[in-house]
A and B are shown apart, each in its own frame.
Chain A
């Protein structure tokens, strides 16, 4: 049984702006789903509709088999972690974590026990009597997590919970959240615009663009077979190379004339080629690659330059010596993805 099911969920804001076009997907019990997309694509809107903080314009939302379109957020059996933590500044950590339980008329002794338990799980036991202002960013984030897990909800919702932390702490919290979620087995929906977070944390990724779902799939599906040029260029750092080419004389040819792929003679017109930087073979083949800049990243290097006048990046392991200048590369057929130039859809 699907734990969460969205059926043609749509959001039109009162000013007439359609922030989410009708979208449908199901989330399995215990699954960790990441909604990812650029700023303004409607991730938060979608999440907030699931939370009940935003009205659903049309469509059906089910959580644990129950239609919840018009159910109050408090009664949806969800918990949410916000970007700015949203801790109650005047309450101690203990009261912050226990507030939701208290509102649900949980007996005092049980609140205490559950708060202690959650605090122990999150390494917060020493801070229970502090106010949020006396905590570091990471600790605050953990308190926000504590507030969510203490209630034992059917569904966790996260709205960019790590974006206020520095890079190192973010990596650490990312792992902690993921581990915690696996341990508790709670279905989770996680919003981020950071594709690294999406790739590393998700069981499944939902890529959104301008209020539309571009692709749903496991991280590896999304990475290795992007459904559109948008997904290809959004996911992966550096993103997939996209090069404009033409069907010509029974081959797909780059503007410089190099044939990279055989094709039926009957086909004509433009096409977009995609290839991941790490699939490019440096020093083989006969495609000219003009390197402008070598980016040294320790374990590997990124070569930035141009192929046939179009920006192109290649990823090479650290032992490969490469310097700016003219090189040749091979674009292995198996690694090439073909996209319709006009619609951006994968062919």
Chain B
């Protein structure tokens, strides 16, 4: 018995270690490259050698512009990515909550129909409607603006759906108690529903922030000015610069890749602990 459990423990660990390696090795490779001069990288590819170029690469990546306008420095791209990620997440949550609030709590004639219409938009992701969306944004003069980046993406069936399910689980008595306590629709929403939805909001924020942060196609179409580039799109730009006899700036691109990974990781870690706390201290 003891032997068997020992064996299975070894097996379990082997699987876990393999999995961890599978996830970690590419990351370690990226990290290794950030420490090497670009020439070495193009000659030997990834290796076990740790170079001394990290500072240089970091400085270059964050402060030096890679394009012509001098505006797409790493810092600037990081800022744009944050604006997109946060704007995207907050926008989706606000709109999703308000739509769900209307559908669940108000006696609308076509509430169910409206909900299903919203729901079917899940079948129409951005990629399907990208040309008309682009045209609308262009006509509104929102190319190369944050509004143009964010607004077309934030109407969200997913968030609406999750909030609807959540709101429907809020006890009826609570709503009635609030009504008797003199809370109107807006007060009820702000004072009671939003605080109750905390965990739901945190969960949505994780998902939506990462989703927005990783957007690639839409920012590529909407932003042509280098000052509006996000990290995810900017990295591509750097390795693309291969005109003449210049060597692609691998070190720099990989530093940006690392930096592009960090904020989503932090968002997940930060909100996750909150999320779990909210779930276990369930007091609804």
Cβ of A9 within 8 Å of any chain B Cβ, yes or no, is: no
Q: Which residue of A has the minimal Cβ distance to B281?
A: A133
Could you list 23 examples of A-B contacts with CB < 8 Å?
A51-B180, A72-B179, A73-B176, A74-B180, A74-B183, A79-B180, A80-B177, A82-B176, A82-B177, A84-B173, A86-B173, A86-B174, A86-B176, A87-B177, A88-B178, A89-B196, A89-B283, A90-B196, A90-B283, A91-B195, A99-B183, A133-B281, A147-B181
Q: B14 — which chain A residues lie within 8 A by C-beta?
A: none
Cβ of A103 within 8 Å of any chain B Cβ, yes or no, is: yes
| Chain A CB within 10 Å, residue with most, of B174, B180, B198 | B180
State how many residues of chain B have any CB contact under 8 Å with chain A.
20
Give chain B nearest CB distance to A45 CB in angstroms: 13
Give chain B nearest CB distance to A87 CB in angstroms: 8
Q: A89 — which chain B residues lie within 8 A by C-beta?
A: 196, 283-284
Cβ of A218 within 8 Å of any chain B Cβ, yes or no, is: no
Q: A103 — which chain B residues lie within 8 A by C-beta?
A: 181-183, 187
Q: A86 — which chain B residues lie within 8 A by C-beta?
A: 171, 173-174, 176-177
Which one, A72, A79, A82, A131, contacts B173 given CB within 8 A?
A: A82
Contact B182 A88 (CB under 8 A): no
Q: Tell me whether A73 and B180 are in contact in the complex, defined as CB-CB below 8 angstroms, given that A84-B171, A86-B173 are known contacts.
A: yes
Q: A100 — which chain B residues lie within 8 A by C-beta?
A: 180-182
Cβ of B192 within 8 Å of any chain A Cβ, yes or no, is: yes
Q: A79 — which chain B residues lie within 8 A by C-beta?
A: 180
Q: B180 — which chain A residues lie within 8 A by C-beta?
A: 51, 53, 73-74, 78-80, 100
- Contact bitstring B166-196, A, C-beta under 8 A = 1, else 0: 0000010110111111110001000110011
Q: A91 — which chain B residues lie within 8 A by C-beta?
A: 195
Q: Give B residues with C-beta under 8 Å from A.
A: 171, 173-174, 176-183, 187, 191-192, 195-196, 198, 281, 283-284
- Contact bitstring A63-101, B, C-beta under 8 A = 1, else 0: 000000000111000111011101111110000000110
Q: Tell me whether A88 and B176 are in contact in the complex, defined as CB-CB below 8 angstroms, given that A74-B181, A103-B181 are known contacts.
A: no
Q: Which residue of A has the minimal Cβ distance to B284?
A: A89
Tell me which residues from 132 to 180 in chain A have a Cβ below 8 Å from any Cβ of chain B: 132-133, 147
Contact B283 A73 (CB under 8 A): no
Give chain A nearest CB distance to B31 CB in angstroms: 43
Contact A90 B195 (CB under 8 A): yes
Beyond the given A74-B182, A87-B177, A147-B181, please list 18 additional residue pairs across the A-B interface where CB-CB is below 8 A. Answer: A73-B176, A73-B180, A74-B179, A78-B180, A80-B180, A84-B171, A88-B177, A88-B178, A88-B191, A90-B195, A90-B196, A90-B283, A100-B180, A103-B182, A104-B182, A132-B283, A133-B281, A147-B177
Instruction: Tell me, in angstroms, the Cα distance from A104 to B180 when the chains sit together.
Output: 11
Contact A99 B181 (CB under 8 A): yes
Instruction: Tell me, in angstroms, the Cα distance from A227 to B187 when the chains sit together.
Output: 48
Q: A99 — which chain B residues lie within 8 A by C-beta?
A: 178, 181, 183, 191
Q: Which residue of B has the minimal Cβ distance to A78?
A: B180
Instruction: Tell me, in angstroms, the Cα distance from A65 to B84 when the chains sit together.
Output: 59
Contact A88 B174 (CB under 8 A): yes
Give chain A nearest CB distance to B70 CB in angstroms: 49
Which one, A53, A104, A133, contacts B176 given CB within 8 A?
A: A53
Q: Which residue of B has the minimal Cβ distance to A144?
A: B177
| Chain B CB within 10 Å, residue with most, of A82, A87, A131 | A82
Give chain A nearest CB distance to B275 CB in angstroms: 16
Q: Which residue of B has the minimal Cβ distance to A85?
A: B173
Q: Which residue of A has the minimal Cβ distance to B181?
A: A100
Q: A72 — which chain B residues lie within 8 A by C-beta?
A: 179
Q: A132 — which chain B residues lie within 8 A by C-beta?
A: 283
Instruction: Tell me, in angstroms, the Cα distance from A82 to B177 when the chains sit together.
Output: 8
Instruction: Tell me, in angstroms, the Cα distance from A87 to B192 when the chains sit together.
Output: 11
Contact B281 A83 (CB under 8 A): no
| Across the A-B interface, the 9 shortest Cβ-Cβ residue pairs | A133-B283, A86-B173, A103-B182, A74-B182, A100-B181, A86-B177, A89-B283, A90-B195, A82-B173
Q: A147 — which chain B residues lie within 8 A by C-beta?
A: 177, 181
- Contact bitstring A97-133, B, C-beta under 8 A = 1, else 0: 0011001100000000000000000000000000111
Give chain A nearest CB distance to B182 CB in angstroms: 4
Tell me which residues from 173 to 195 in chain A have a Cβ below 8 Å from any Cβ of chain B: none
Q: A51 — which chain B residues lie within 8 A by C-beta?
A: 176, 180
Q: B176 — which chain A residues lie within 8 A by C-beta?
A: 51, 53, 73, 80, 82, 86
Give chain A nearest CB distance to B204 CB in angstroms: 18
Q: Which residue of A has the minimal Cβ distance to B198?
A: A90
Instruction: Tell me, in angstroms, the Cα distance from A147 to B242 when the chains sit together.
Output: 71
Q: Tell me whether A83 and B284 are in contact in the complex, defined as CB-CB below 8 angstroms, given that A51-B180, A74-B182, A103-B182 are known contacts.
A: no
